[in-house]
């Protein structure tokens, strides 16, 4: 009688496409395949004169056949080869022709007994085998002998079974549902152990309860997990044209499969497998209940584990799985299964948080991280922030960093943090994306970007902590999320932030003061300011706005708009106002930018009989420069309208003819010798985010600032700010300088050349 | 066909991408690279330790387009990537001898 293979294949295709994924579907496919293969075998093998039995092995034997599973077939018989060959052709060829993947073994009972002794894979396949057709007693004897033999050799077999590699993690967003940690093979291993230790074939790990290796609830959890693993694998097999057991993020989303339940199931399988392995080896896992009821972790215990770095991950994951971290962070155990696949994340949220926190202890492997870690003043607030940085992802939607900050404020005391530590940890969580997002999405050479970022991270040690957290977060995200390229990009931003927060370039409160001044200036300008003046206010740098009053801003906007509107290369506008201290005046000058402009202005002020006490130079708007000087009379003569008229005259002559101005200054110097014999000192004080600070100490004399600023211009450097203070005839001036591209000057040669030119001129 | 390579500041990638999409450029290859031009590596002093940052992180894009589109693509990249600061990058254009779409076997402009 012919076997309807085509009918079998049609039923199989219909079942695979229509069945609800899960153990029932796997059993139905097994049963369908049983019937077809049995019919083929009985037809083809019945002429054999020796007894025979056909057995289904491996997953098929355990009634868990999936769409892409191999049909692992064992034919047991003593029949001679010449008789067997044509008979087997009748079983295997129709299956091969149908495109099924069939693995077959043909052996005598004795040969198979030897095979299971010599080959672990043959043993494990047989331990979950069952008889399909033929001589049932013969087939059952093969199965029983395999389990009994392995039981006798259990001292050798058990270590071999438990030495199996378990790659990956149950917390991977794209887990290997078969061979990965927490996958099907882990359940199989427990089933094989149950068979070997009990000496009888087993369909599941329940026998481990009687052996004291698992508890009843454990076995129930493993049963549920096995069902979910079958369901997940069925989804993957059905969607993929090739045999694969990797549940991709896309497949999980498109199939609507409850992937978080699957992650929880894999965690159960993973930790129970570790636990059984530990108990068998006499090395229980850290939080094994056999060691006594494990206590929930407190802050100190958690910090101790986190400080062990990656080595502590298995213990931390076990603690989270057992709910021992829930006292510190409620529902952290559930967070271990929460999936938020985005931005290269490869782990569930909880597993990512643990990896981020342990990465800090492993920072020595990353030079940038290690260097930043030296600047961290409080490690506990950093570790707490790393541990909690993504807890806000327990809810979907944007704003997880802000939700995380709120969680830190609620939970921080449980970690033993003092209020100021709690504030730091909350800030780190709120801003944990700041450096990465700013470095990748903003121009970090823009001074305002640095000032605004520095306002959010107001201390250098917090910049260090945030850099470490950024790096640890990226390292815990997945491979490629933190490369040398990212380290360099984020590192440069962190360096600029540190520099901007140094004592020489204080920027605390800059953003707030600047924005208040900008808004007040716009209000003062009324409803219809000129377009140029309004543009000046809207685009003015934060440091400028923070340093002046709103009235100054409006005045400066008028000056700049006037000069820009004239279009003349030697145009200039001056505004004067009473200065900050008695006898001083504030002089604001707008003029088209050009090399040496600052020194020309200094020279004109000197020729007008004015001593410069302080100066600020700003890139204003549309190629116009704005310089603000605080001056006083360099003699006992009063400053009056004739002084400002003189300044207008000298500037009008000096801007188109700097050489003439230099000649007049040299003449003036002859009449006013130096007021002391102090030695000239030139020192580079600091390199900040926006400029390099250079201090010059020299005997004061008329035109000194002109000469020093000429030295800067001669060496191709631009002055962005200057403060000139003179006491007892000695000038003590600080200058902020940039190179021609507006970057701080770091080249030692250029700075040495500058020092030489200053000494020459002074 | 022309192959256009551009080295730009990393934060300008989105703007360049949008500018190219507006021109109808349908694909590009993006690399994270490091290098230096006029914007030399610099020396930082941090907590008394001096260390040199030799190379500056940049983003490199590669595009192949028809000859007549190449000048517009060049200009679009220049306009979108410009900050007027040193280190804005460069655009290089090369002749491209051929292209094949592997899936369909289409060749030349059809493969772009």
- Tokens describing residue A125: 């396949």
Environment class of residue A476 by beta-carbon count within 10 Å: exposed (0-12), middle (13-18) or buried (19+)? Answer: buried
Q: What is the rounded CA–CA span in Å between residue A481 and residue A473?
A: 9
Residue A189 domain flag: no
What average pLDDT does this structure show over A632-640? Answer: 78
Q: Which residue of A has its CA nearest to B81?
A: A443
Name the band, by pLDDT with cuts 50, 70 and 90, for residue B23. very high
Q: B78: which residues sit within 8 A by CB, 6+ positions away?
A: B91
Residue A466 domain flag: no
- Tokens describing residue A575: 């505004």
Q: A305: which residues sit within 8 A by CB, 6+ positions away?
A: A297, A312, A315, A316, A319
Q: What is the rounded CA–CA span in Å between residue A176 and residue A188?
A: 15
Residue A27 domain flag: yes
Residue A159 domain flag: no
Q: What is the rounded CA–CA span in Å between residue A629 and residue A603?
A: 12
Q: Which residue of B has its CA nearest to A445?
A: B85
Separation in Å, CA A442 to CA A630, A697, B9: 35, 39, 10
- The secondary structure element, H or E, covering residue A195 is helix A184-198
Residue A289 domain flag: no
Give the end of a domain, one of A152, A172, A200: A152
Instruction: Give the pLDDT of residue A625.
Output: 87
Separation in Å, CA A71 to CA A16, A63, B76: 16, 11, 59
Q: Which residue has the higher pLDDT, B75 or A480?
A: B75
Question: Closest by alpha carbon to A318, among A344, A286, A273?
Answer: A286
- Tokens describing residue A562: 């006037």
Instruction: Give the pLDDT of residue A135.
Output: 94
pLDDT in tens, A225-236: 999 999 999 998
Looking at the complex, report in whole angstroms how far the Cα of residue A46 sits from the nearest Cα belonging to chain B. Answer: 51
Mean pLDDT of chain A: 88
pLDDT in tens, A531-581: 888 888 888 888 788 778 888 899 999 999 899 888 888 899 999 988 877
Instruction: Give the pLDDT of residue A296.
Output: 79
Give the end of a domain, one of A152, A175, A192: A152
Q: Which residues of B touch A448 (CB under 8 A)?
A: none
Give the end of a domain, one of A152, A172, A188: A152
Q: Please state the three-class secondary structure of B1-40 as a single string.
A: CEEEEEEECHHHHHHHHHHHHHCCCCCCEEEEEEECCCCC
DSSP A322-341: TTTTTTTSTTHHHHTT----
Phi/psi region, residue A360 (left: phi>0; alpha: psi -120 to 50; beta: rest), is: alpha
Task: Establish if A254 touches chain B: CB-CB under 8 angstroms.
Answer: no
Name the band, by pLDDT with cuts 50, 70 and 90, for residue B45. very low
Q: Please state the three-class secondary structure of A469-527 as a single string.
A: HHHHHHHHHCCCCCCHHHHHHHHHHHHHHHHHCCHHHCCCCHHHHHHHHHHHHHHHCCC
Nearest beta carbon to residue A498 from set B10, B33, B46: B46
Given an 8 Å threshold on Cβ–Cβ distance, is A439 in contact with B10? yes
Which three-class secondary structure state does DSSP give residue A20? coil
Residue A66 domain flag: yes
CB A746 within 8 A of CB B42: yes
Instruction: Give the pLDDT of residue A401.
Output: 92
Looking at the complex, report in whole angstroms how far the Cα of residue B75 sits from the nearest Cα belonging to chain A. Answer: 21
pLDDT of A504 > 60? The answer is no
Nearest beta carbon to residue A687 from set B9, B45, B87: B45
Environment class of residue A554 by beta-carbon count within 10 Å: exposed (0-12), middle (13-18) or buried (19+)? Answer: buried
Residue A486 domain flag: no
What share of chain B in percent tops pLDDT 90? Answer: 60
Instruction: Give the pLDDT of residue A384.
Output: 95
Which three-class secondary structure state does DSSP give residue B83? coil
Q: Which residue do the tokens 């009985």 mark?
A: A42
Q: What is the total count of domains within chain A? A: 2
Sheet of strand B29-35, all strands in order from the earlier edge strand to the far edge: B29-35, B56-65, B2-8, B89-95
Instruction: Pick from B7, B8, B9, B10 the residue to mutate for testing the A interface (most A CBs within 10 Å).
Output: B10
Instruction: Give the pLDDT of residue A450.
Output: 85
Q: How many CA atoms lie within 13 A of A27 on its CB side?
A: 6
Max mean pLDDT among A554-558, A608-612, A674-678 falls in A554-558
Task: Establish if A51 touches chain B: CB-CB under 8 angstroms.
Answer: no
pLDDT in tens, A383-442: 999 999 999 998 888 899 999 999 999 998 899 999 999 999 999 999 999 999 898 888
pLDDT of B53 > 60? The answer is no
- Tokens describing residue A217: 């609830």
- The domain in which residue A130 lies consists of 5-152
Q: A498: which residues sit within 8 A by CB, 6+ positions away?
A: A460, A463, A464, B46
Instruction: Give the pLDDT of residue A445.
Output: 76
CATH number of the domain residue A29 falls in: 3.30.460.10
Looking at the complex, report in whole angstroms how far the Cα of residue B1 sits from the nearest Cα belonging to chain A. Answer: 31
- Tokens describing residue A530: 């000129």
Residue A395 CB neighbour total at 10 angstroms: 10
Q: Which residues of A touch B56 (CB under 8 A)?
A: 488, 492
Instruction: Give the pLDDT of residue B41.
Output: 52
pLDDT in tens, A21-52: 989 999 999 999 999 999 999 999 988 889 99
Residue A194 CB neighbour total at 10 angstroms: 27
Instruction: Give the pLDDT of residue A595.
Output: 79
CB A421 within 8 A of CB A412: yes
Q: How many CA atoms lie within 13 A of A741 on its CB side?
A: 15
Task: Establish if A437 touches chain B: CB-CB under 8 angstroms.
Answer: no
Instruction: Give the pLDDT of residue A367.
Output: 84
pLDDT of B46 > 80? The answer is no
The beta-strand segments (E) located in A638-691 are 681-687
Q: Which residues of A touch B18 (CB under 8 A)?
A: none
Instruction: Give the pLDDT of residue A429.
Output: 97
Q: Which residue has the higher pLDDT, A499 or A753?
A: A753
Instruction: Give the pLDDT of residue A83.
Output: 87
Q: Which residue has the higher pLDDT, A336 or A754?
A: A336
Given an 8 Å threshold on Cβ–Cβ distance, is B87 in contact with A498? no
- pTM of the predicted model as reported, rounded to 2 decimal places: 0.76
Q: What is the rounded CA–CA span in Å between residue A47 and residue A83?
A: 9
Task: Establish if A498 touches chain B: CB-CB under 8 angstroms.
Answer: yes
Instruction: Give the pLDDT of residue A632.
Output: 84
Domains contained in chain B, CATH given: 2-111 (3.30.70.120)
- Which residues of chain B approach chain A closer than 8 Å at the C-beta? 9-11, 14, 32-34, 38-39, 42-47, 49, 53, 55-57, 83, 85-87
- DSSP label of B87: T
pLDDT in tens, A343-396: 688 999 999 999 999 999 988 888 889 989 999 999 999 999 999 999 999 888
Q: Give the count of Cβ contacts less than 8 A between chain A and B.
A: 58
Max mean pLDDT among A190-194, A391-395, A626-630, A751-755 falls in A190-194
Residue A296 domain flag: no
Q: Which residues of A touch B30 (CB under 8 A)?
A: none
Q: What is the rounded CA–CA span in Å between residue A100 and residue A67?
A: 10
What share of chain A in percent tops pLDDT 90? Answer: 48
DSSP A578-636: E-SSTT-EEEEEEEE--TTHHHHHHHHHHHTTEEEEEEEEEEEETTEEEEEEEEEESSS
């Amino acid at each position: 009688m012919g076997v309807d293979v085509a009918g079998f294949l049609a039923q199989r295709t219909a079942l695979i496409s229509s069945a609800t994924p899960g153990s029932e579907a796997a059993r139905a496919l097994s049963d369908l395949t049983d019937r077809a293969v049995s019919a083929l075998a009985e037809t083809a093998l019945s002429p054999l004169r020796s007894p025979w039995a056909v057995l289904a092995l491996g997953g098929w034997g355990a009634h868990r056949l999936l769409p892409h599973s191999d049909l692992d077939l064992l034919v047991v018989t003593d029949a001679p080869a010449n008789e067997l060959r044509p008979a087997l052709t009748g079983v295997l060829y129709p299956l091969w022709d149908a495109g099924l993947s069939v693995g077959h073994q043909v052996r005598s009972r004795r040969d198979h007994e030897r095979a299971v002794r010599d080959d672990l894979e043959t043993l494990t396949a047989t331990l979950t085998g069952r008889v399909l057709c033929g001589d049932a007693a013969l087939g059952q004897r093969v199965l029983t002998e395999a389990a009994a033999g392995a039981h006798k050799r259990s001292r050798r077999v058990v270590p071999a079974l438990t030495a199996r590699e378990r790659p990956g993690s149950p917390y991977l967003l794209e887990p290997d549902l078969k061979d990965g940690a927490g996958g099907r093979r882990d359940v199989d291993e427990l089933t094989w152990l149950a068979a070997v230790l009990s000496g009888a074939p087993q369909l599941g790990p329940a026998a481990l309860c009687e052996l004291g290796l698992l508890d009843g609830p454990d076995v129930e959890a493993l049963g549920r997990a096995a069902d979910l693993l079958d369901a997940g694998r069925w989804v993957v097999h059905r969607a993929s044209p090739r045999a694969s057991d990797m549940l991709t993020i896309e497949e999980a989303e498109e199939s609507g499969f409850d992937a978080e339940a699957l992650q929880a199931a894999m965690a159960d399988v993973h930790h129970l497998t570790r636990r059984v392995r530990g108990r068998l080896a006499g090395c229980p896992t850290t939080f094994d209940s056999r060691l006594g009821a494990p206590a929930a972790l407190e802050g100190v215990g958690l910090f101790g584990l986190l400080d062990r770095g990656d080595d502590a991950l298995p213990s931390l994951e076990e603690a989270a799985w057992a709910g021992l971290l829930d006292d510190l962070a409620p529902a952290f155990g559930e967070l271990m299964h929460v999936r938020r696949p985005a931005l290269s994340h490869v782990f569930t949220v909880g597993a990512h948080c643990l990896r981020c926190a342990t990465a800090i202890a492993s920072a020595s492997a990353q030079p940038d991280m290690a260097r930043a870690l030296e600047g961290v003043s409080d490690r506990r607030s950093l570790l707490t922030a790393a541990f909690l940085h993504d807890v806000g992802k327990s809810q979907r939607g944007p704003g997880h960093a802000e939700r995380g900050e709120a969680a830190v404020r609620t939970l921080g005391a449980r970690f033993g943090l003092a209020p100021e530590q709690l504030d730091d940890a909350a800030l780190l969580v709120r801003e944990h994306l700041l450096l990465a997002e700013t470095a990748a999405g903003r121009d970090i050479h823009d001074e305002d970007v640095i000032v605004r970022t520095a306002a959010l991270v107001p201390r250098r040690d917090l910049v260090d902590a945030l850099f470490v957290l950024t790096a640890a977060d990226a390292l815990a995200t997945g491979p490629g999320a933190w490369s040398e390229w990212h380290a360099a990009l984020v590192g440069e931003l962190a360096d600029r932030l540190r520099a901007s927060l140094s004592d020489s370039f204080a920027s605390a409160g800059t953003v707030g003061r600047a924005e208040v001044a900008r808004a007040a200036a716009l209000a003062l300008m009324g409803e219809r300011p000129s377009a140029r003046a309004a543009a000046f206010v809207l685009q003015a740098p934060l440091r400028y706005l923070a340093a002046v009053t709103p009235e100054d801003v409006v005045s400066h906007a008028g000056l700049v708009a006037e000069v820009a509107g004239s279009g003349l290369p030697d145009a200039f506008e001056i505004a004067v106002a009473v200065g900050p201290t008695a006898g001083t005046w504030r002089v604001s000058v707008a003029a088209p930018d050009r090399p040496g402009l600052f020194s020309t202005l200094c020279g004109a002020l000197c020729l007008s009989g004015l001593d410069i006490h302080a100066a600020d130079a700003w890139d204003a708007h549309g190629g116009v420069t704005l310089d603000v000087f605080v001056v006083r009379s360099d003699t006992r003569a009063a400053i009056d309208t004739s002084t400002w008229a003189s300044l207008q005259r000298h500037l009008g002559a000096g801007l188109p003819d700097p050489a003439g101005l230099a000649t007049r200054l040299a003449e003036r110097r002859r009449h006013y010798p130096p007021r002391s014999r102090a030695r000239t000192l030139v020192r580079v004080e600091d390199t900040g985010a926006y400029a390099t600070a250079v201090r010059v100490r020299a005997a004061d004399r008329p035109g000194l600032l002109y000469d020093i600023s000429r030295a800067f211009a001669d060496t191709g450097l631009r002055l962005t700010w200057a403060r000139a203070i003179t006491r007892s005839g000695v000038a003590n001036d600080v200058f902020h300088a940039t190179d021609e591209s507006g970057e701080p000057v770091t080249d030692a040669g250029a700075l040495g050349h500058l020092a030489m030119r200053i000494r020459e001129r002074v | 066909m022309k192959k256009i390579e551009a080295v730009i500041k990393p934060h300008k990638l989105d703007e360049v991408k949008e500018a190219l999409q507006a021109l109808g450029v349908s694909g590009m290859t993006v690399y994270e690279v490091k290098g230096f031009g006029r914007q030399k590596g610099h020396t930082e002093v941090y907590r008394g330790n001096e260390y040199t940052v030799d190379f500056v992180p940049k983003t490199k894009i590669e595009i192949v387009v028809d000859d007549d589109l190449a000048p517009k693509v060049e200009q679009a990249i220049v306009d979108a990537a410009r900050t007027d600061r040193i280190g804005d990058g460069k655009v290089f254009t090369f002749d491209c001898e051929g292209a094949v779409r592997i899936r369909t076997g289409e060749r030349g402009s059809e493969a772009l």
